[in-house]
Structure 1
Amino acid sequence: MKFSYKFNNLLGTVYKKGDLIFTPDGNSVVSPVGNRLSIFDLKNDKVTTLPVESRYNYTALDLSPNGCSLIAINEEGEAHWISLISQTIVHKYRFKRKVRAVKFSPDGKHFAVCKENNVFVFIAPGPLSGEYNAFIMERVFHGAYDETTCLDWSFDSRILAVGSKDMAVKLYPLDKWSNFRIYSLGNHTDSIVGCFFEDYTYDITTISRNGQACIWECSVDPDKLVPLDKAPPRKKKKESADSDEDDIDITKAIEPTEAEIAAALEDNKEEKVDQNDKFFYKRLARHYLADEARKEDSQAVLTSAAYHKKTKILITGFSNGSFFIHELPDVSLIHSLSISNQKISSISLNSTGDWIALGCGGLGQLLVWEWQSEIYRLKQQSHSNNMSSICYSTDGQLLASGGEDGKVKLWNVHSGFCFVTFSEHSSAVTSVAFSGSKKFLVSASLDGTVRAYDLIRYRNFRTFASPRPVQFASVSVDSSGEFVAAGGQDVFEIFLWSIKTGKLLEILSGHEGPVTSVAFSPSVTSTCMASVSWDKTLRIWDAIEKGSAHETVELLSDGLCVAFKPNGQEVAVATLDGQIVIFDVKTASQLKSIEGRNDLGSGRSDTDLITAKKTLQAKAFTSLCYSADGEFLLAGGQSKNVCIYNIAESLIVKKFEVTQNRSLDAVDDFINRRKLNEFGNVALVEEREEMEGGNVTLKLPGARKGDMASRVLKPEVRIFSLQFSPTGQQWAAATTEGLLVYSLSSGLVFDPWDLQIGITPQAVKNCLRDGDNLNALTMAMKLNEAPLIQEVMENIPVKDVELIVAALSEQYVHRLLLIVSSALDSSRHLEYYLIWAQNLLTIHGPKIAPQKNMAYLLALEKSLHRKYEQISKICEFNKFTIQYVMKLGDEIAKRTKNDKDKMELDEASSEDENNDFYMESD
């Protein structure tokens, strides 16, 4: 089994904080998700997360006009120049301070950055500027008296408007002009939130935090800006040659000549022209946009704004979750809508101005709204608190997540979108589980209920409750899908219900501590169930047949998690002392023991008074999962590391570090000495924005998930739940950052199988050229390179496929199933690979062992189901179009036939007339 798992996608979190931006084509929106960037493709309904990770959360983003380069700056001022073509970080630059905004010029030659009270203008690398060294500074402007907050470029990239907290907007020229230097626009009574140039003019609109919008008109047209080196020299006043009063001609002084009069008129004319070309702004109007928002909330302030220059549409978002659409320059209200009770952190408009992207950082909400038709193009929301558990469906296409906000969400693994949310629980969801038939989903919660959801109609069809209030900490469904069991957290019992009737069948007593985990055997022939508790015992039940009879296995420490092997013969238990113990289910004897505490990795929190090495002694695995073939074990817990162990050798195979985000707590092993003083850690002092008020509240003692009452939320990095995909091609982890999905990166690892000296790619192509297709296929499969195998398969004639498959030995079949399943997703030769799949399953179906090859069969089923969904949608969409075309063809055929018959009749009648004429003439 290959372990070249690479980060594939980030689900469960759609937006945290920072700028939202649309791509130049307007079909995708880029959203900062912590220290990663997600791209939501609105045209194909798919989300992808870039394989780029920062040391801190991203806050300021902007995209180049050609859409090839993205500049992203995190909250510590580290800028990343990211190529969207290769999806890699090309250059890095450290500003060493917080950056408020970044903006590319419309011509793509420069980009400006707001830092403190300064504005830095850099030359953008690329063919437009002719410069390929990144972050070459060209200009620096120091005009603001307080921190700069926003900026905008004029349409010709010659003037830069910068708003700041000093309640003024400064205009800076990129080049030196004779009639324009630096200009300041005031008249606001609060900090500036947005400033926007008009298209093809220098007119500007400025918006402040208290909702004031000022519209300014520029006195100079863009074509009248004169460069300083081309400006005409100023004329000096003529001085008389002799300054003696006795030598002055009185008649000339009183009566000037005609030449002098003409020269004076010319000078006055030039002065008037220069006065008309003087650069200044006139305020046309002032509007108060916050009046409507303050009808519902008197404390509402304007938090974000966006403007579309072509359609002159202004969008403003407020702290109470409402946003307004105005049309400039009259500032007439077009529409208003409230999306939540949290502040709108960011607003963006696409290139056509039809779609509005809205981000709410408090709820982790991302909306794309089409304002003309008033419909949502995209509506996604994260769990408002941490995820507690995840579960794959039996075919690996769906992921269910339960959160501490009481919601259960279903995610499509392929598209990355959440397509249904169940919010029936009134408290935190502790565990979720799919049924074996994928027809329903079960969740347990601290509100004392276990709920079953129908995955066809998307409704809660069963609610299971106990005779007395119980906080359920774990849940499991048996392989037949008829029974569900849940373990109590405050009542140390296990409850067993029937799915069909909803009745409580059995209450299993015996544990003397909270039941942290229960699991049914995945084997179809077994009704066994295992449970672990804080009472240092593992209990194996057969409650369906034998009731409360069970077998008790003593553990060395508190049990935290239990997981069954896919064949149901072994069970793995994670204990509080950092060990993983493997037991045989039938004999209850210990088979293996894995010491994994040192593999978890240490991490020191800001509030810890002990070292990371000492903290490691208190860490343990809290989630376990077997691989699809049952040979490896996936484990994670109170750290940032995920470990894969080989069970037979009791050794670690690979370790994954799920995040390096230092915006989370307990990521680093050491605290920077510069942050420590005689009073403690300086990092615990909160830095707040202006007018937030209140006292500084430190994190509550013992709170490891973040104190929600604190204004600065810095949760500790943890892995709450893990699970392998049934196909074995990926695994998912519910972490503090969100739901991370890791998948096998095909083609990057050379992993041959039964390789010999003479087997080379050239030898495979020689056999293929000579017509020895069977030998070419077997050699290509031993090289185990998917592109080569696919090339060989596509060169085999269709009539020979059945003979080739029949001649293959059993050891090649399951590998070929995996190749066929991947080719169905990537290749356009659908019917050809369907013939391969049909022959493989028909000829070798009875000899395929389900337990051993279940991962390959599920991968094939997943690909076939996905292809069926794609084609069925296309066929359903084109069905009526095809009917119309057929009807149109019949109608055209009828008209053609009628026209032909008419022509034949006309010809026949003309011939008769000619015959009659000749007869009469005769």
Structure 2
Amino acid sequence: MKFAYRFSNLLGTVYRRGNLNFTCDGNSVISPVGNRVTVFDLKNNKSDTLPLATRFNVKCVGLSPDGRLAIIVDEGGAALLVSLVCRSVLHHFHFKGSVHSISFSPDGRKFVVTKGNIAQMYHAPGKKREFNAFVLDKTYFGPYDETTCIDWTDDSRCFVVGSKDMSTWVFGAERWDNLIYYALGGHKDAIVACFFESNSLDLYSISQDGALCVWQCDTLPEDLRLKAPTGWKADLLRRQEQEEEEQEEGDERETTIRGKATPAEEERKGKVKYSRLAKYFFNKEGDFNNLTAAAYHKKVHLLVTGFASGIFHLHELPEFNLIHSLSISDQRISSVAINSSGDWIAFGCSGLGQLLVWEWQSESYVLKQQGHFNSMVSLAYSPDGQYIVTGGDDGKVKVWNTLSGFCFITFTEHSSGVTGVTFTTTGYVIVTSSMDGTVRAFDLHRYRNFRTFTSPRPTQFSCVAVDSSGEIVSAGAQDSFEIFVWSMQTGRLLDVLSGHEGPISGLCFNPMKSILASASWDKTVRLWDMFDSWRTKETLTLTSDALAVTFRPDGAELAVATLNSQITFWDPETAVQTGSIEGRHDLKAGRKELDKITAKHSAKGKAFTTLCYSADGQSILAGGMSKFVCLYHIREQILVKRFELSCNFSLDAMEEFLNRRKMTEFGNLALIDQDAGEEDGVAIPLPGVRKGDMSSRHFKPEIRVTSLSFSPTGRCWAATSTEGLLIFSLDARMLFDPYELDTSVTPGQVREALRQREFTRAILMAFRLNERTLTQEALEAVPWAEIEVISASLPQLYVEKLLEFLASSFEVSRHLEFYLIWTQKLLMLHGQKLKSRSGQLLPTVQFLQKGVQRHLDDVAKLCDWNRYNIRYALAVSRQQGMKRTLEDAGLEKAAETSDEDAEMSDDDSLHLLGGAEDAVLA
């Protein structure tokens, strides 16, 4: 199971379109990202993308009241019933049409979907196993145009539906005698949202033109009467009542027929009636500042409204008092949600791909994340694997934490698209190249751009590389065909390497030597010696244009991707080709909607544009203009595995065959720009155009892989694609992967060995079973005093497995000192033997370093804080002691001057610590 990489997380995309939801505890936000769904844990500061995907972009998400189930509906009407507890799909369903919104009833027994101009109520799936999880109960008609929104009463007796025909419809979830349906008007534009008041049938309706209507009902929810049954149901009910009367004829008590009332009661309790109490208008700025989203919290009576100009308002209802008004950006707010306590408000902006969670009482951001505005172009892992840096066509450079999944710094110094990013070997400096003619170096300590490298003549840089010492920076030019070399220390241009006759497509330094490999469209790869007057050491002649070049981690091999879909391998010392892989049939490029040729012929023009060696150097990843990423074994030159990055048919070039239903006698239906003039009901005009705008603004992005990178730890790899930054990991798998297993190795035998205090045998059997929980139980049962003896008795092969287990345990376990003792003893006792296999063990050691480094950073911050507190406490106590002594002597004036002296002598007070500070740091 060495290549059992599974989808782990999606970074770089925080919101695309659809509705936002808070979980029932109010601590997490569920956000649709393309055809996937991400859960942002705001309490633990972590994002997690569910390992499931729909065939098209997600349109809406419905969350059950207990937070255990979610219904995810895509643009095509296909639905997934998902368990948020076990993160798996329970049921597939198709609503046979485009669904606009979905909402569960507060009791969790039913849910309503709005589809077209109707509303359909389904029985919600229960906790028992069912043949059909979705059973249609009723279909409600009434609106003439598309329905837009749903809201339920607190007792689940009624629900309200808004429509684009400017009407609001109240329906009964049961067969009520005094409420079948009720239509409300009063608006001049499409209804955006409608909400019931708490424990009442009173409701609010909000339209797109910024009007709010307050409706009052003359009937309480408990006054709704069930309609008397008719037909065979009435006969069945009558027989049951007669049987009950015969059984109780000896008792003298009144029998009331259910569902019936006396004529006097019917006259007194008539049909439900609504009356409009008030109508309010939101302040608008311009003709196109439409109201686009709204949310209402019934307990605190808080109404949040978002507008197309990026402004949102907070109002208190029913008085309509303005609490707050703030502008997020200049793009429309697509979705608004409020958590259960009413403290946090989530905003989604699809135009910028932005997600905000705002705490309105303290007026501060809980979460503020935004992906790249345009597609990502390049990525790089930090040397310890903790961070990923990405560069995009929008000119932004973002740094992501692989553990939390959040972006913690964004650099915006570039004025054009970023073409290449890389880390130095220290991991604290990022070097980027851009089409704006600059190469910039960013410091991750102070988060600033401390070096800017430029060329004598303005040029566009297509790639960048930094040598292993971090002293030499090189960048390739796209227009002048030259390679520029700078010094990191001084920022001066050292040399300009000429010789290529085409644009430079890739640069890579040898990790072990100062040799620079440059790939170009002139069908050559040149090796430059950095220590020998920058002259060309070798020139490798290729059969086609070179698109990417990379060195193996040990520097003993060079891989080149060419335009004819081949990957060639070279020995950089002898300039001899050692192997070749033909990848034309493995790429499997898809067919675009407007292509005139088949996908098979389209693949002939595609090629691999990015390469990456695995951490151990035995395999290579390749990706290009396709949804597939291919993993090849280098020595055997065979395809080991092909990873499908996306199954989202909302992207272009995903189809393998032509859809003949879209072909008409007038041409392809894809040429017709449907719904381009309006985006969710909001007109998108061109500048200077009032009406009759016939221009096309419909854009369907093409699926492609722009960059690949293996983590230095070897446990995961990342790819930048049209979907975002996808991470595939070995840690996300749920596989039984035993090692040298026989019938005598069972969990019971492991625990029996632990009871007999045969710890070495128990650890060896646990590793042969390869179950993490059992291995953890065996290790933690060992007394710390016996760790050294047991470490010495472990075979060499199990030492490597134990080091890998310890590295993964540092990320999740709290037993930090215990696992550090294990690590220290293993490395001290087996260090000399491990050196002989340093190449194969390098990913494991780097994985170990990543976990230790993260804890070191956390503990260092704590120690610095403790040191400051001790210093401050000593200074204050010394000052008070001196002041008290002087006051006792009656020298108040001297006491006043001693205040200043005590403040200046903080450093002297450290001498009184003795070994206290060392103890804190330890």
Judge same fold: TM > 0.5, yes or no. Answer: yes
Whole-angstrom distance in 2 between the partners of 1:554 and 1:739: 34
Deviation (angstroms), 1:876: 7.9
Which amino acid in the other structure matches residue 576 of structure 2? S
Deviation (angstroms), 1:182: 1.4
* Matched ranges for 1:786-825 at <5 A: 786-825=772-811
Question: Could you say which residue in structure 1 is the equivalent of 2:320?
Answer: 331
CA spacing shift, 1:560–1:223, aligned 2, 3 Å = same
Mapped pair 1:280 → 2:266: no
Which amino acid in the other structure matches residue 334 of structure 1? I
* Matched ranges for 1:96-111 at <5 A: 96-111=96-111
Equivalent residue of 1:545, what SS?
A: coil
CA spacing shift, 1:710–1:486, aligned 2, 3 Å = farther
Question: Could you say which residue in structure 2 is the equivalent of 1:176?
Answer: 175
Contact 1:100–1:115 (Cα < 8 Å) also in 2: yes
CA spacing shift, 1:201–1:759, aligned 2, 3 Å = closer
Question: Could you say which residue in structure 2 is the equivalent of 1:715?
Answer: 701
Question: Could you say which residue in structure 2 is the equivalent of 1:919?
Answer: none
Mapped pair 1:550 → 2:537: yes
* Matched ranges for 1:850-869 at <5 A: 850-869=838-857
Which amino acid in the other structure matches residue 124 of structure 1? A
Equivalent residue of 1:616, what SS?
A: helix
Deviation (angstroms), 1:279: 1.4
Contact 2:526–2:536 (Cα < 8 Å) also in 1: no
Which amino acid in the other structure matches residue 196 of structure 1? F
CA spacing shift, 1:642–1:834, aligned 2, 3 Å = same
Question: Could you say which residue in structure 2 is the equivalent of 1:614?
Answer: 601
Contact 2:7–2:732 (Cα < 8 Å) also in 1: no
Deviation (angstroms), 1:691: 6.5
Runs of 5+ consecutive residues of structure 2 not aligned to the other structure: 231-261, 687-694, 875-922
Contact 1:509–1:548 (Cα < 8 Å) also in 2: no
Question: Could you say which residue in structure 2 is the equivalent of 1:724?
Answer: 710
CA spacing shift, 1:466–1:753, aligned 2, 3 Å = same
Q: Give the one of 448, 454, 463 matched to 2:452.
A: 463
Whole-angstrom distance in 2 between the partners of 1:229 and 1:778: 72
Contact 2:170–2:183 (Cα < 8 Å) also in 1: yes
Whole-angstrom distance in 1 between the partners of 2:682 and 2:620: 51
Contact 1:113–1:120 (Cα < 8 Å) also in 2: yes
* Matched ranges for 1:435-474 at <5 A: 435-474=424-463
Whole-angstrom distance in 1 between the partners of 2:229 and 2:77: 40
Which amino acid in the other structure matches residue 825 of structure 2? N
Whole-angstrom distance in 2 between the partners of 1:275 and 1:752: 76
Deviation string 1:142-191 (CA, Å, 9 cap, x unpaired) is 11111101111111111111110110101111122222221111010001
How many residue pairs end up in the alignment?
829
Which amino acid in the other structure matches residue 566 of structure 1? P
Whole-angstrom distance in 1 between the partners of 2:59 and 2:211: 25
Q: Give the one of 639, 647, 650 matched to 1:663.
A: 650
Contact 1:729–1:744 (Cα < 8 Å) also in 2: yes
Question: Could you say which residue in structure 2 is the equivalent of 1:207?
Answer: 206
Whole-angstrom distance in 1 between the partners of 2:212 and 2:684: 26
CA spacing shift, 1:72–1:746, aligned 2, 3 Å = closer
| RMSD after superposition | 2.5
Mapped pair 1:845 → 2:831: yes
Question: Could you say which residue in structure 2 is the equivalent of 1:537?
Answer: 524
Deviation (angstroms), 1:827: 3.3
Which one has a bigger Cα radius of gyration? 1
Whole-angstrom distance in 2 between the partners of 1:669 and 1:36: 22
Whole-angstrom distance in 2 between the partners of 1:884 and 1:177: 72
Runs of 5+ consecutive residues of structure 1 not aligned to the other structure: 232-268, 696-708, 887-922
Deviation (angstroms), 1:833: 1.3
Whole-angstrom distance in 1 between the partners of 2:23 and 2:81: 16
Question: Could you say which residue in structure 2 is the equivalent of 1:315?
Answer: 304
Equivalent residue of 1:229, what SS?
A: coil
Deviation string 1:785-812 (CA, Å, 9 cap, x unpaired) is 4444333322322222112222334443
Whole-angstrom distance in 2 between the partners of 1:844 and 1:640: 44
Contact 2:192–2:292 (Cα < 8 Å) also in 1: yes
CA spacing shift, 1:288–1:360, aligned 2, 3 Å = same
Contact 2:194–2:203 (Cα < 8 Å) also in 1: yes
Whole-angstrom distance in 2 between the partners of 1:372 and 1:746: 38
Deviation (angstroms), 1:274: 3.2
Deviation (angstroms), 1:712: 2.3
Which amino acid in the other structure matches residue 724 of structure 2? G
Which amino acid in the other structure matches residue 272 of structure 2? F
Contact 2:589–2:625 (Cα < 8 Å) also in 1: no
Question: Could you say which residue in structure 2 is the equivalent of 1:899?
Answer: none
CA spacing shift, 1:277–1:130, aligned 2, 3 Å = farther
Contact 2:15–2:353 (Cα < 8 Å) also in 1: yes
Whole-angstrom distance in 2 between the partners of 1:632 and 1:768: 39
Deviation (angstroms), 1:847: 3.9
The sequence identity of aligned pairs, in percent, is 51
Question: Could you say which residue in structure 1 is the equivalent of 2:343?
Answer: 354
CA spacing shift, 1:758–1:590, aligned 2, 3 Å = farther
Question: Could you say which residue in structure 2 is the equivalent of 1:563?
Answer: 550
Equivalent residue of 1:490, what SS?
A: coil
Contact 1:602–1:615 (Cα < 8 Å) also in 2: yes
Question: Could you say which residue in structure 1 is the equivalent of 2:683?
Answer: 692
Mapped pair 1:428 → 2:417: yes
Deviation (angstroms), 1:62: 1.5
Deviation (angstroms), 1:764: 4.7
Equivalent residue of 1:826, what SS?
A: coil
Contact 1:4–1:745 (Cα < 8 Å) also in 2: no
Moved more, 477-486 or 743-752: 743-752
Mapped pair 1:739 → 2:730: no
Contact 2:28–2:42 (Cα < 8 Å) also in 1: yes
Moved more, 828-837 or 202-211: 828-837
Equivalent residue of 2:723, what SS?
A: coil
CA spacing shift, 1:684–1:94, aligned 2, 3 Å = farther
Whole-angstrom distance in 2 between the partners of 1:877 and 1:37: 39
Whole-angstrom distance in 2 between the partners of 1:775 and 1:223: 69
Question: Could you say which residue in structure 1 is the equivalent of 2:34?
Answer: 34
CA spacing shift, 1:675–1:517, aligned 2, 3 Å = same
Contact 1:813–1:840 (Cα < 8 Å) also in 2: yes
Deviation (angstroms), 1:131: 7.4
Moved more, 502-511 or 95-104: 95-104
